[in-house]
Amino acid sequence: MSFRTHGHCGLVLGAKAKAHPRKAEKHDHGEDAFFVSESDAAFGVADGVSQWADYNIDAGEYSRKLMELCAEEVADLMSAEDARFADPKRALEKAYRRSLSVMGSSTACVLTMDGEGMLRAANLGDSGFIVLRPGFTRESHHASRLQPIAMSLNANAGLGPAGPNASQQEAIKKKRRAREIQWDVMYRSQEMQKYFNCPDQLGPGCPDKPSRAETYELPLETGDIILAATDGVFDNISDANLCVLVKRFSLELQSLLPTDQGAFSAASVKHDAELRPWLHSVADRICQEAHLVGMNTTGITPFSEQCRNAGYLFEGGKLDDVTVVAAMVVSKE
């Protein structure tokens, strides 16, 4: 992958979307949409407002068109000879002006990063993003048990008391040195709603304009993960549980990193094609979890807490379209 951004940082991207069961026949993503561009270090998500169905209009057509145009406008901004990054709000404004021939409306969250690791975002509505930063906890319990388990398996396989061979022993030592990665929330965008469960939105006939979008400039570090998602994710999974879900993939991540110590470090996170399927797996797991929680009719969820704060009685999750783009900041050097 060639990066068009200058500097030492880039993004590797993975994405997954899952439609509400009632909408899956029309489109795999339901009324959600997204775009990704590793070369331009840009991505975005949009959530079509489902109330348009009352007028026999598929809001997914608008959200998909808006994201398609955002990708084009980002590429156009990056084509300038001296471009260091694409301004996400400007890209959203230009895409919006070109989208008005399509009926519908949607939320929008567009993000770009320059080569020095500065993330810029424009967000309007209740889609959004969260930035997770890696740290370390104690040595992984799973890793610490690898050696006796491996020796037992070798003995059962008839390999004798010598246990693992030299290469197996080295692999075991590398795993034992691995420490669990603790992911912490560094930044979180804010929802924009007119009133409870009615997000700000873009589209022909809507009073909101891209100029209303909240903008962010956030310095990132190599190894940071950005999750951009629609409300189908954030309504069903808390920030803390998003950290837990990403943590479950920590050992797999460490196995992909070219380190001598077998442990995660920011310096080891370089652009690698194998990181992309790992990020796809993370996004897929988050989508599956949001979908499962959305089908629950009991328990406390972010959405049920929002209902309570608004004066409504509601338990469980909120079944919806779910979309996640998972991005990792990597070194290009």
Which of the residue ranges 217-221, 278-282, 291-295, 328-332 would you say has the lowest mean pLDDT? 328-332
Give the range with max mean pLDDT: 49-58, 137-146, 165-174, 234-243. 234-243
Q: Where are the domains of the chain?
A: 9-139+183-331, 141-177
More confident residue, 307 or 22: 307
> Chain-wide mean pLDDT for the chain?
86
Residue 141: pLDDT over 60? no
Which of the residue ranges 141-145, 240-244, 252-256 would you say has the lowest mean pLDDT? 141-145
Residue 189: pLDDT over 80? yes
| CATH class, range 9-139+183-331 | alpha beta
Q: In which residue are the tokens 């879900």 written?
A: 245
**Which stretches of the chain are assigned E, i.e. beta strand?**
9-18, 32-37, 42-47, 108-113, 118-124, 128-139, 179-188, 193-195, 198-199, 214-219, 225-229, 322-331
More confident residue, 173 or 70: 70
CA 232, 237, 240, 241 torsion: positive or negative? negative
Provide the pLDDT for residue 213.
98
Provide the pLDDT for residue 83.
87
Torsion angles phi and psi, residue 201, rounded to 5:
-155, 155
Arithmetic mean of pLDDT, 192-196: 95
Residue 244: pLDDT over 80? yes
Provide the pLDDT for residue 82.
80
Interior/surface letters 81-97, b for 16+ CB within 10 angstroms, e for the rest: eebebbbbbebbbbbbe
More confident residue, 146 or 247: 247
Torsion angles phi and psi, residue 130, rounded to 5:
-140, 140
Which of the residue ranges 7-16, 93-102, 166-175 would you say has the lowest mean pLDDT? 166-175
What confidence tens digit (pLDDT) does each residue in 55-67 have? 999 989 999 999 9
Amino acid occupying residue 132: L
Residue 208: pLDDT over 60? yes
Of 41, 252, 31, 54, which Cα lies nearest the Cα of 125?
31
Residues contacting 79, CB < 8 A, separation 6+: none
